[in-house]
Chains A and B, each alone.
Chain A
Amino acid sequence: MTSVAEHDHPDAATRALAAGDPMLPRPYRVVRTRRDTRDTVTLELEPVDGVTMKFSAGQFTMLHAFGVGEVPISISGDPTRDGLLEHTIRDVGSVSGALVAAEPGTILGVRGPFGTGWDVSDGIGGDVVFITGGIGLAPLRPAILELLANREKYNRVALLYGARTPEDILFGDELRKWEDRLGIVVEVTVDSGPHSWRGRVGLVTQLIPRIAFDPANTVALVCGPEVMMRACATALRDRGVPASSIRLSMERNMKCGVGLCGHCQLRELFICVDGPVLTYERLAPLMSRWEL
């Protein structure tokens, strides 16, 4: 009979207690709000205790609307600057609805930053393709800004953006600025448009054949509804981009954000810890299965 403790539990427990409670939200004050579309708002938050959050592009926080609840929201601000914490939120339920309606001065709870980032700098020296749909542009924006801060280190850069209708296009002014001043090819399409729409109509995947990039030397960052990401990943693979060079941002139900509650599991992956950014190489066998 073995008799020596394998797990020195008092130490692990003591260490855990000293590290602090990841489930305790930090209070942040809403400084500014900006309405982006009819159902989307960008909040700018400052920490009440003054300690700013350092984050990597692609990470998310758990945002708590006191009295309503908590949801995971990607950070949509500039990771290269020490400014206000930005979140672009779409009203799809009671919690996000409360966040979208938050007035300046409101105190929200913030936990994070959590998860893996885009690591766009892996594309230095080569081409970078950003492909996004709907609100997916918000989680990609920090990676775009990170790249733009060092534009000269990258070759060809393209942003392909699909929205439902022209009214749902996010950050329109910024898109124009990026294209005009910063040498990024920006191609926008909508699922359908009104008579007055002068632009392109079609699915964002249809834009992929239209841009020039070297498949062997490209990092592709894709963010949007899962159906869209699958279709884009397939189209990129058809162009010869290796699955390991294609990165997607996945979403699942989350209650903790730190790998404890178990909700976000996609087979062996915890989307909050192993993701949300994962390579298509890792995801392909999992994404094609029903109800996994």
Chain B
Amino acid sequence: MQTIEEYLPEHPFFAGLDQPTLELLAGCATNVHFNVNEVLFHEGDQADTFYIVRKGLIAIQVQSPSAGGVVVDTAEAGGVVGWSWLVPPYRWMFDARASEPTSAVAFDGACLRGKCESDPVVGYALMKRVAQVMFDRLEAARLRLIDMYGSSS
């Protein structure tokens, strides 16, 4: 049975980090599993977990009265969920639920923040990776904003 430290280098988010760093971060992590439709978190909940997806599919959605839950993003194997743990006020802005049976590694947010504070080198390495994820997501989100497939396209 593969340990979390053994798995982490296989996940794109952690690729390139050295072994001591991985061990340090693995200390904040546990394996988790979600069944279909199981909710990871609700909008407004305190955000104190960072997930990396090993297998399956997580849907990020926004609830609206007439439209119900609109899925605005998904994360699959190799992806990550959540950075609200990093930015005050540490609160989830969206709902998240599993679209498929999903196994993930969950990192305790406070634990991760603590490790970043005490070791800035580790902190910076983590920030760079989070920044990359946000960059990709923001770019994709902005392009979807123009509704290019819409009726005027």
A contact residues around B78 at 8 Å (CB):
210
Provide the residues of chain B in CB contact with A224, threshold 8 Å: 148-149
Taking CB atoms, residues of chain A closer than 8 Å to B152 are 92
B71 touches which of A133, A195, A225 (Cβ 8 Å): A195
Which residue from chain A places its CB closest to the CB of B141 in the assembled complex? Answer: A203
Whether A203 contacts B140 in the complex (CB less than 8 A), given A194-B67, A195-B69, comes out as: yes
Q: Beta-carbon contacts of B102-113 to A below 8 Å, as 1s and 0s?
A: 000000000000
Set of chain B residues within 8 Å of A194, measured between Cβ atoms = 67-71
Q: Are B147 and A193 in contact (CB under 8 A)?
A: no
Q: Which residues of B contact A81 (CB under 8 A)?
A: none
Q: Is the CB of A191 within 8 A of B149?
A: yes
CB–CB A201/B59 < 8 A = yes
Q: Is the CB of A193 within 8 A of B148?
A: no
Contact B61 A195 (CB under 8 A): yes
B: number of interface residues (CB 8 Å): 29
Classify the secondary structure of A's interface with B. mixed
Residue interface bits A5-46, CB-to-B below 8 A is 1, else 0: 000000000000000000000000000000000010000000
A200 to B57, CA, bound (A): 8
Task: List residues 62-116 of chain B with CB under 8 A from any CB of chain A.
Answer: 67-74, 76, 78, 99-100
Give complex CA distance A163, B153 in Å.
Answer: 12
Q: Assuming A39-B151, A201-B74, A202-B73, is B57 touching A195 (CB within 8 A)?
A: no
B150 within 8 Å of A by Cβ? Answer: yes
